[in-house]
A = this chain, B = another copy of it.
Amino acid sequence: MSTLAQQLQQMEAHQSLFELAVRQLTLPVCAAFGSANAPQAVSFANTARVLSTKDSDSVAKSFPNSVKASGNVVLAASGTNAKAAQGKRVAVLFSGGPASGGHNVVCGIKRVLGAGNTLLGVKPGPKGLLLGNLFEITDADVDAIINTGGFDFLGTDRTKIKTDEQFAQVKATCIKHNLDAIVIVGGDDSNTNAAVLAEFLFKGIKADGSGVQVIGVPKTIDGDLQIGDLLPISFGFDTATKIYSEMVGNILQDTKSSLKYWHFVKLMGRSASHVTIEVALQTKAAVTLISEEVAAKRQSIAAIVDQIAQIVVARAAKGITHGVVLVPEGLIEFIPEMNALIAELNDALAHNAAEFADEPQDTKADFIQDKLSADNARLFASLPAYVVRMLLADRDSHGNLQVSLIPTEKLLVDMVHARVKEINVKVPFSAHCHFLGYEGRCGAPTLFDAAYTYNLGLTAGSLILDGRSGYMATVTGLTTGGTPQAIPLSGLLNIERRHGQDEFVIEKALVKVDSPAMQYFAARRAEWAASDLFASPGPRQLWGPAAYQQPISVALNSKSESLAFKIG
């Protein structure tokens, strides 16, 4: 075999030249943890800050142990923990969609637990916890996964732990593996899960009557788990948005090179538009839709379409027959009239199920249109055939439409095309559609996410060695060195109606239309629409002068003085 063929074969299974190099990067740690080479566990002390929500009284009744122990008080690192526990057995799991940096959370926990404690990995996700599928994580594992993207070391799943049988299974796993603590890496739902588990496992689990600690770690590329300055952003958001921003920047350069295409790019993010506004701030695309603003202004589809079409026509008048439109994945659900139409459609289909089923394919749409109120019928009639087909498709078991299946970007292209030709038939409009999603969840973490998650891991591990339970690990002050902190999960819980019943949940953080990021975007967008002021953020760099960048929207919202972050 040739030298090159040998080298190639050695590059299989996560051994690309990049992966080999990136594992050697030294990550900075908050000063509280001491040296980057041998970080030490910290202890925690109460701050003056107490969290509460409108439902704090109900929470105190349903989560008595957690609230009594924490008082819903935020913790901050208070120095090296000279009396850090030894002999602890800690399990860690990923929950929900993957996000870049998860591996470094595991690495941080393992490093701070050190040789005196044991770290176990749960495969895959909450389901693995129910099944008791645990294995011991070694130092060699840490060396293999550090700074690599994805959740592939442990896998993940979306099982929600809520039935008595499931709680019993978790308890059985804790006993079987003699666990002292569980770290749950996840989003808003998973951290709600962590709060519930923390309460359930608080005491009386093991033979000696003691409990099992539970710590959450804030993950989600959607960026909708934010708690002011205590949690300016969840991990994974920076990597995902920088991947999407590079792709959008590349496409923008293509539009100005090819001089003939519009590209409509739908960006992942289940409901909030954080991802979309960040990509807009990074790239300065001609048009960006923000779902929360559409809802706040009660914009109709026709208004949205007209707004884009007017920009297309105005640019064409200046000889610019190209551009990029950014569309948040959740847009449809934020358009009031679409919500009204879908609600009435759901009813009409349910009430006329038998007749609708008997109706010939060609006349089903007309049949149901006759059952709608005038406004909804008019909107329904204005939609392209493929959207009508989806609106009439089978409902899920709750009778709801899967709105996310509607190809929003294609719908907008078709409607904008028609509107542009209506305004001026001579204006050229040729468009391509993209959906950026899965590409961004598991890429190699940015230096920001790599350092942030490693320090989140060090914080989570420290909380366990300090005997804490029911907290979410966080690192604040990401531009001033970083401070390990802990947020009492019970202080975040609200009651929301979901699937027809009241549930305790951590509220999703939507884009605030009066936030500094939104204000900056609103102040600049007219100029971005009028000319080609875009920038190309380029591939994220792990070495060199462009490596230290936090998300722009986070920098604006947290009133940072620059884009640079600083840990350590």
Residues of A at the B interface (CB closer than 8 Å) are 2-5, 7-9, 11-22, 24, 94, 97-98, 124, 148-152, 155-157, 243, 246-247, 249-251, 253-254, 256-259, 261, 263, 281-282, 284, 432, 434, 438-444, 520, 524, 528, 532-546, 549, 552, 555-556, 559-563
Among B98, B148, B247, B545, point to the contact of A543 (Cβ < 8 A).
B545
- Supposing A19-B538, A535-B14 touch, asked if A439 and B247 sit within 8 A by C-beta, the answer is yes
- Supposing A14-B535, A16-B536, A250-B443 touch, asked if A256 and B150 sit within 8 A by C-beta, the answer is yes
* Interface contact B12-A520, CB-CB below 8 Å: no
* Interface contact A246-B432, CB-CB below 8 Å: no
Residues of chain B contacted by A254 (CB below 8 angstroms): 98, 150, 438, 441-442
Closest to A127 in B: B259
* Interface contact B12-A533, CB-CB below 8 Å: yes
Q: Within the assembled complex, what's the spacing in Å between the Cα atoms of A556 and B256?
A: 35
- Supposing A155-B256, A256-B155, A536-B14 touch, asked if A8 and B520 sit within 8 A by C-beta, the answer is yes
Among B15, B149, B257, B441, point to the contact of A535 (Cβ < 8 A).
B15
* Interface contact A560-B257, CB-CB below 8 Å: no
Among B149, B281, B539, point to the contact of A250 (Cβ < 8 A).
B149
Residues of chain B contacted by A552 (CB below 8 angstroms): 8
Residues of chain B contacted by A98 (CB below 8 angstroms): 253-254, 257-258
Q: Within the assembled complex, what's the spacing in Å between the Cα atoms of A14 and B16?
A: 31
Residues of chain B contacted by A549 (CB below 8 angstroms): 17
* Interface contact B538-A4, CB-CB below 8 Å: no
Among B17, B432, B556, B563, point to the contact of A438 (Cβ < 8 A).
B432
Among B155, B157, B243, B538, point to the contact of A444 (Cβ < 8 A).
B538
Closest 5 CB pairs of A and B: A543-B544, A18-B538, A150-B253, A151-B257, A253-B442
- Supposing A149-B250, A155-B259 touch, asked if A540 and B543 sit within 8 A by C-beta, the answer is no
Residues of chain B contacted by A249 (CB below 8 angstroms): 16, 443
Q: Within the assembled complex, what's the spacing in Å between the Cα atoms of A192 and B13?
A: 43
Q: Within the assembled complex, what's the spacing in Å between the Cα atoms of A247 and B294?
A: 31
Q: Within the assembled complex, what's the spacing in Å between the Cα atoms of A562 and B124?
A: 38
Residues of chain B contacted by A443 (CB below 8 angstroms): 246, 249-250, 253, 536, 538-539
- Supposing A11-B535, A444-B539 touch, asked if A21 and B250 sit within 8 A by C-beta, the answer is no
Show 8 residue pairs from A and B whose CB-CB distance is below 8 angstroms, ordered by the A residue.
A2-B561, A5-B556, A16-B536, A17-B545, A18-B538, A24-B545, A148-B253, A543-B545
* Interface contact A536-B18, CB-CB below 8 Å: yes
Q: Within the assembled complex, what's the spacing in Å between the Cα atoms of A13 and B535?
A: 5
Residues of chain B contacted by A282 (CB below 8 angstroms): 16
Residues of chain B contacted by A15 (CB below 8 angstroms): 535
Q: Knowing that A4-B560, A19-B536, A249-B443 touch, tell me 8 more A-B residue pairs with CB under 8 angstroms.
A: A17-B546, A148-B253, A155-B259, A156-B258, A251-B438, A254-B438, A539-B539, A541-B542
Among B5, B152, B534, B542, point to the contact of A256 (Cβ < 8 A).
B152
Residues of chain B contacted by A544 (CB below 8 angstroms): 21, 541-544
* Interface contact A250-B7, CB-CB below 8 Å: no
* Interface contact B150-A257, CB-CB below 8 Å: yes
Chain B min CB distance to A386 (Å): 10
Chain B min CB distance to A553 (Å): 11
Chain B min CB distance to A393 (Å): 15
Residues of chain B contacted by A250 (CB below 8 angstroms): 149-150, 243, 438-443
Q: Within the assembled complex, what's the spacing in Å between the Cα atoms of A313 and B43?
A: 51
Chain B min CB distance to A307 (Å): 22
Closest to A433 in B: B435
* Interface contact B538-A16, CB-CB below 8 Å: yes
Among B13, B18, B247, point to the contact of A537 (Cβ < 8 A).
B18
* Interface contact B281-A8, CB-CB below 8 Å: yes
Chain B min CB distance to A145 (Å): 11
- Supposing A8-B552, A439-B250, A563-B17 touch, asked if A259 and B541 sit within 8 A by C-beta, the answer is no
Residues of chain B contacted by A538 (CB below 8 angstroms): 16, 18-19, 22, 443-444
* Interface contact B536-A253, CB-CB below 8 Å: no
